[in-house]
């Protein structure tokens, strides 16, 4: 076999299980990461000729474990790593190891790995790059580009995160039920932030790739917690949002608002999967923030035309989200629905009290400018749009606001 794409897919899929198992054995992130990389190199050398092993994660764990033991010389009684020419004869040698590393072990190992990357001692700007590097294996240069910093700066950030973890002397035992529930919220929040980092990046392909990685991690979480409705909601939200990706930008890379998007360009497969997931989650009757956000996205996805959008129901869902997770950003989003149901004046009354808390938030000034323009208050709208441009995080955001200013000038 000369096409190595299947090997790359197998390594990406196996990585969380293998690194998690190695972390449990060696209790050191660097050792686990380096051993996995060496095992991956050996897989690239031997799998093309011999075909994939019956259990790829078990094969990788066995090889990586022996590599790490040989390197550290921790146990002289351990059998040495087989010679290169004999690796192809491993055949079913990984089967006994696979039996010991059953699904429950894999689950605990991956959870431990995710929990460590989301340790409270780390800030979100540290958690996300660490998870991308350790759990997902994203190259350092790509992480640096995505976060708009140099490779050296990102390497220092990840190194400091590892040092904090080491200093915290974390227990490596399987977490109990209470800790799982508490840390699952942190893990979910990390994946959610990762998705937002990619989804809000405009048409930048380096940062946009983070959204795809967040979807992959959410799928992993759902495999670990298949009956957890909030994880269903998390993945549904990602899929329903990402389904609109192709329609979010025009040929020049400028932002296209939801109501102006060509809905035929939305990804029907993603929408169908997202709708099925949120419908399944809501049947549990334990609504949470991710489920509510997914339900809002589902109402947009179900509308064949913008005028068919169920804005009153979206308003009610945002009201429920405000009760569950009070936030000025949630109120700002609800104001959009209110503008559709009760007019720009009512929406502006909701937005104005948020000025102090959202003074540095681009969408606040953009929405406020749009509402003022709709109310005929052109001078105030220009000021709001000017503040929005100053806070734009991407070229597409700035260009979108400039078009509004151009329209105001043309009408004056």
Residue 389, pLDDT above cutoff 50: yes
User: pLDDT value at position 148?
Assistant: 72
Residue-wise pLDDT for 280-300, tens only, equals 999 999 999 999 999 999 999
Q: Is the pLDDT higher at 159 or at 80?
A: 159
User: pLDDT value at position 28?
Assistant: 80
pTM for the full predicted model: 0.75
Angstrom distances, CA of residue 107 to CA of 32, 34, 114, 171, 224: 17, 22, 11, 17, 6
Give the integer Cα–Cα distance in Å for 44 and 40. Answer: 6
Helices and strands counted in the chain (H then E): 19, 0
Radius of gyration, alpha carbons of the chain: 25
User: pLDDT value at position 276?
Assistant: 97
Residue 79, pLDDT above cutoff 50: no
DSSP code for 202: T
Q: Are 64 and 38 in contact (CB under 8 A)?
A: yes
- Counted residue by residue, the chain has a size of 412
Identify the residue whose tokens are 């939200």. 237
Q: Is the pLDDT higher at 385 or at 85?
A: 385
User: pLDDT value at position 253?
Assistant: 76
Give the integer Cα–Cα distance in Å for 339 and 311. Answer: 9
Mean pLDDT throughout 333-362? 96
Mean pLDDT throughout 176-203? 77
Report residue 378's pLDDT band, with 50, 70 and 90 as the boundaries: very high
Q: Cβ atoms within 10 A of the Cβ of 14, count?
A: 22
Phi, psi of 249 (to 5 degrees): -135, 145
Mean residue pLDDT of the chain comes to 83
Mean pLDDT throughout 107-124? 77
Mean pLDDT throughout 162-184? 71
Exposure letters 344-365 (e unless 16+ CB within 10 A, then b): beebbebbeebeeebeebbbbb
Angstrom distances, CA of residue 392 to CA of 210, 326, 385, 395: 20, 25, 10, 7
Give the integer Cα–Cα distance in Å for 122 and 120. Answer: 5
Q: Are 332 and 354 in contact (CB under 8 A)?
A: yes
Q: Is the pLDDT higher at 151 or at 176?
A: 151
Give the integer Cα–Cα distance in Å for 113 and 170. Answer: 12
Residue 158, pLDDT above cutoff 80: yes
Phi, psi of 161 (to 5 degrees): -65, -45
Written as six digits, the tokens of 172 are 């490596």
Report residue 272's pLDDT band, with 50, 70 and 90 as the boundaries: very high
Q: Are 59 and 53 in contact (CB under 8 A)?
A: yes
Residue 306, pLDDT above cutoff 80: yes
User: pLDDT value at position 126?
Assistant: 87
Mean pLDDT throughout 211-220? 88
Mean pLDDT throughout 270-276? 97
User: pLDDT value at position 45?
Assistant: 87
Range of weakest confidence among 146-155, 173-182, 214-223, 375-384: 173-182
Written as six digits, the tokens of 42 are 């050996």
Give the integer Cα–Cα distance in Å for 112 and 170. Answer: 10
Residue 129, pLDDT above cutoff 50: yes
SS3 (DSSP) at 288: coil
Give the integer Cα–Cα distance in Å for 263 and 173. Answer: 49
In 4-78, DSSP assigns E strands to none
Residue-wise pLDDT for 309-331, tens only, equals 999 999 999 999 999 999 999 99
Written as six digits, the tokens of 79 are 């059998």
Identify the residue whose tokens are 């094969």. 59
Angstrom distances, CA of residue 20 to CA of 34, 140, 185: 13, 20, 19
CA dihedral over 120, 121, 126, 130, signed as positive or negative: negative
User: pLDDT value at position 406?
Assistant: 83
Range of weakest confidence among 54-63, 148-157, 200-209, 227-236: 200-209
Report residue 138's pLDDT band, with 50, 70 and 90 as the boundaries: confident
SS3 (DSSP) at 249: strand
- 110, with CB counted inside 10 A (0-12, 13-18, 19+), is buried
Q: Are 157 and 129 in contact (CB under 8 A)?
A: yes
Mean pLDDT throughout 335-351? 97
**CA-based end-to-end distance of the chain:** 67
Give the integer Cα–Cα distance in Å for 301 and 285. Answer: 22
């Amino acid at each position: 076999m000369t096409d190595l794409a299947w090997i790359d897919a197998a390594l990406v899929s196996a990585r969380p299980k293998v690194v998690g198992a190695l972390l449990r054995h060696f209790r050191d992130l660097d050792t686990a990461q380096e051993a996995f990389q060496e095992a991956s190199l050996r897989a690239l050398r031997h799998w093309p000729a011999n075909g994939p092993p019956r259990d790829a994660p078990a094969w990788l764990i066995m090889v990586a474990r022996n590599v790490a033991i040989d390197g550290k010389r921790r146990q002289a009684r351990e059998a040495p790593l087989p010679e290169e020419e004999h690796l192809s004869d491993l055949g079913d040698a990984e089967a006994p190891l696979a039996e010991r590393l059953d699904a429950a072990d894999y689950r605990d190992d991956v959870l431990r790995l995710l929990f460590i990357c989301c340790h409270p001692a780390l800030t979100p700007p540290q958690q996300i790059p660490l998870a991308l590097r350790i759990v997902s294996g994203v190259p350092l240069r790509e992480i640096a580009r995505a976060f708009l910093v140099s490779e050296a700066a990102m390497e220092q950030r990840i190194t400091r995160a590892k040092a904090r973890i080491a200093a915290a002397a974390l227990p490596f035992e399987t977490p109990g039920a209470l800790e799982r529930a508490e840390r699952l919220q942190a893990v979910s929040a990390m994946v959610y932030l990762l998705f937002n980092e990619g989804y809000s990046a405009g048409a930048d392909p380096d940062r946009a790739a983070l959204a795809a990685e967040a979807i992959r991690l959410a799928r992993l979480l759902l495999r670990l917690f298949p009956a957890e409705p909030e994880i269903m909601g998390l993945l549904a939200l990602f899929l329903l949002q990402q389904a609109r990706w192709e329609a979010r930008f025009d040929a020049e890379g400028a932002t296209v608002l939801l109501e102006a998007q060509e809905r035929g360009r939305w990804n029907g497969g993603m929408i169908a999967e997202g709708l099925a997931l949120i419908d399944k989650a809501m049947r549990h009757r334990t609504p949470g923030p991710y489920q509510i956000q997914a339900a809002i996205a589902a109402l947009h996805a179900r509308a064949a035309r913008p005028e068919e959008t169920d804005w009153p129901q979206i308003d009610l869902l945002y009201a429920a989200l405000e009760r569950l997770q009070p936030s000025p950003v949630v109120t700002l989003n609800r104001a959009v629905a209110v503008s559709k149901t009760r007019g720009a004046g009512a929406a502006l009354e909701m937005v104005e009290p948020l000025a102090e808390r959202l003074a540095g938030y681009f969408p606040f000034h953009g929405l406020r400018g749009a509402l003022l323009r709709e109310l005929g208050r052109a001078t105030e709208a220009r000021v709001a749009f000017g503040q929005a441009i100053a806070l734009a995080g991407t070229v597409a955001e700035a260009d979108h606001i400039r078009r509004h200013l151009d329209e105001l000038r043309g009408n004056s």
